């Protein structure tokens, strides 16, 4: 581990996938399938509570799937990731699109220490990959303006998530590279709510992100047993 909540092995694993990040049928296929619904869920709530076009910081942005989607929805995006290779791919992919989008290589802790503040922060599919979720949330809280919105998505630690998101996705269907997830790091919604409270955040909304074979992608649902997304408000 280095740089606070960053785990070097996790950064190396995702850097190794950087060149294939934007291949919708490649190793990031589940994220491509999930991205439209999660981006729409975030955009609707940001527009409702903070207005259109506000600045958003996307922490753990990878090669920019969510950041680009939200920028195309008119938001002023800053993407942050500790991985040099994924940030390089993100910059290259967005070049020439005319998007209000900037990428920074670094950590949430370092950016918070610099005094950066945003009305909205997103950190999707990242908290299960950090060394210390409590410290990570504290850094995200520091990055928020008073009353700011934090969006998180992660995996619930249930028998079903082990069967579907770990064994099924990695070993049976091969949707993800083996070793992508450590089931013991998955976070139950009640645990996330407690961690948010300890960081000075109030969990205000949650929804399941459920795979729909008929739709060929994900949909918002009430089922939080595998993937779920949440919105918290800075107290």
pLDDT in tens, 168-227: 665 555 666 676 778 889 999 999 999 999 999 999 999 999 988 777 789 999 999 999
- Annotated binding residue at 45? no
Residue 166 lies in a domain: no
In a domain? residue 163: no
In a domain, 145, yes or no: yes
Please report whether residue 173 resides in a domain: no
Residue 38 falls inside a structural domain: yes
CATH number at residue 218: 3.40.50.150
- Reported pTM: 0.93
Domain that holds residue 80: 8-153+186-234
Does 81 belong to an annotated binding site?
yes
Is residue 137 domain-resident? yes
**Residue 38 marked in a binding site:** yes
> Which of 234, 217, 211, 204 has its CA nearest to residue 45?
204
Structural domain contains residue 73? yes
Q: What is the pLDDT of residues 32-70, one digit of tens each?
A: 999 999 999 999 999 999 999 999 999 999 999 999 999
Q: How many domains does the chain have?
A: 1
Alpha carbon distance 10, 17 (integer Å): 11
Whether 164 is in a domain gets the answer no
């Amino acid at each position: 581990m280095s740089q606070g909540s960053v785990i070097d092995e996790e950064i190396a694993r995702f850097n190794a996938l950087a060149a294939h990040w934007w291949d919708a049928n490649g190793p990031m296929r589940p994220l491509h399938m999930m991205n439209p619904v999660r981006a729409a869920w975030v955009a609707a709530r940001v527009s409702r509570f903070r207005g259109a076009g506000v600045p958003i910081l996307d922490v753990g942005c990878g090669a920019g799937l969510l950041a680009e989607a939200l920028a195309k929805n008119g938001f002023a995006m800053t993407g942050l990731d500790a991985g040099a290779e994924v940030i390089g791919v993100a910059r290259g992919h967005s070049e020439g699109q005319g998007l209000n989008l900037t990428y920074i290589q670094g950590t949430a802790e370092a950016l918070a220490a610099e005094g950066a503040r945003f009305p909205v922060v997103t950190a999707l599919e990242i908290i299960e990959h950090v060394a210390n979720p409590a410290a990570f949330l504290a850094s995200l809280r520091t990055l928020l303006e008073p009353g700011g919105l934090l969006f998180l998505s992660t995996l619930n630690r249930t028998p079903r998530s082990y069967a579907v998101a770990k064994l099924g996705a990695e070993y049976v269907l091969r949707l993800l590279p083996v070793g992508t997830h450590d089931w013991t790091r998955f976070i139950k919604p009640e645990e996330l709510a407690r961690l948010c409270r300890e960081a000075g955040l109030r969990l205000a909304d949650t929804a399941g992100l459920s795979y729909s074979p008929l739709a060929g992608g994900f949909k918002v649902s009430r089922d939080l047993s595998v993937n779920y997304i949440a919105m918290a408000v800075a107290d």
